[in-house]
A and B are shown apart, each in its own frame.
Chain A
Amino acid sequence: ETGVTQSPTHLIKTRGQQVTLRCSSQSGHNTVSWYQQALGQGPQFIFQYYREEENGRGNFPPRFSGLQFPNYSSELNVNALELDDSALYLCASRPLAGSTGELFFGEGSRLTVL
């Protein structure tokens, strides 16, 4: 139990639609990052937020965007969904930036794009 909760746990969308995934961080964790995990692959870094600002981004197009709120909860938004966006989306939080790097992951949101 990491204290990081994600919603929804499963959802199905069709190509071209938009989706919003939500994450509630563990108390005291002010840095949140999002990862995409395709079937059979390791998680891939999408982006990270610290104090409501994006401060790191992986190789994902602009249609992947995010928000972090003052209470450190976070959203991942994906526009114009494509079939290849089908994956498990993981949220991870950590204590103050500059800590030793241990991340606490949620259980993920499984997105299926038809």
Chain B
Amino acid sequence: DAKTTQPTSMDCAEGRAANLPCNHSTISGNEYVYWYRQIHSQGPQYIIHGLKNNETNEMASLIITEDRKSSTLILPHATLRDTAVYYCIVIIGQAGTALIFGKGTTLSVSS
């Protein structure tokens, strides 16, 4: 089973920040938090990952709480193309381990 809990769906207005929460209260010290998204009928796409510190790349920012029991993915300026299912996944990042996908959060961005 997935080690994470995410809301089923969220809405966001185009141009606004989308903040997607994820709970992972049983995370271990050597487990990373990964985010992927899946646009309809496409394969999942890697977004970002982190261990303890906040991370930012060209797509998004990842904020991890100090106790590491939850995190938030931030899309700073959502566009219609960001409408997708977003998956938060916890894994030991440096082993060849499988990704355990939950049902994710369906983000709907509207104009």
Contacts and interface: CB of A to CB of B under 8 A. Distances in A.
Interface of A: 2, 4, 31, 33, 35, 41-45, 48, 50, 55-56, 58, 90, 92, 94, 97-108
A105 B100 contact: no
A83 to B, nearest CB: 21
Give 10 closest A-B pairs by Cβ, nearest first: A42-B101, A105-B43, A45-B98, A101-B93, A97-B96, A102-B46, A100-B93, A43-B101, A105-B44, A107-B43
A8 B93 CA distance: 31
Contacts of A102: 34, 46, 49
Contacts of B49: 100-102
B91 A101 contact: yes
Given A31-B96, A43-B44, A101 B32 contact: yes
Contacts of A97: 96
A44 B36 CA distance: 14
Contact of A33 (B42, B46, B98, B102): B98
Q: Which of A56, A101, A105 has the most CB of B within 10 A?
A: A101
Given A2-B43, A105-B44, A107-B42, A98 B94 contact: yes
A44 B96 contact: no
Contact of B98 (A56, A104, A107): A56
Given A42-B104, A100-B32, A101-B49, A56 B97 contact: yes
B91 to A, nearest CB: 6
B12 to A, nearest CB: 21
B44 A98 contact: no
B46 A45 contact: no
A28 B33 CA distance: 25
B103 interface: yes
Contact of B96 (A4, A48, A105, A107): A48
Interface in B80-111: 85, 87, 91, 93-104
A102 to B, nearest CB: 5
Given A42-B104, A90-B43, A108-B43, A103 B99 contact: yes
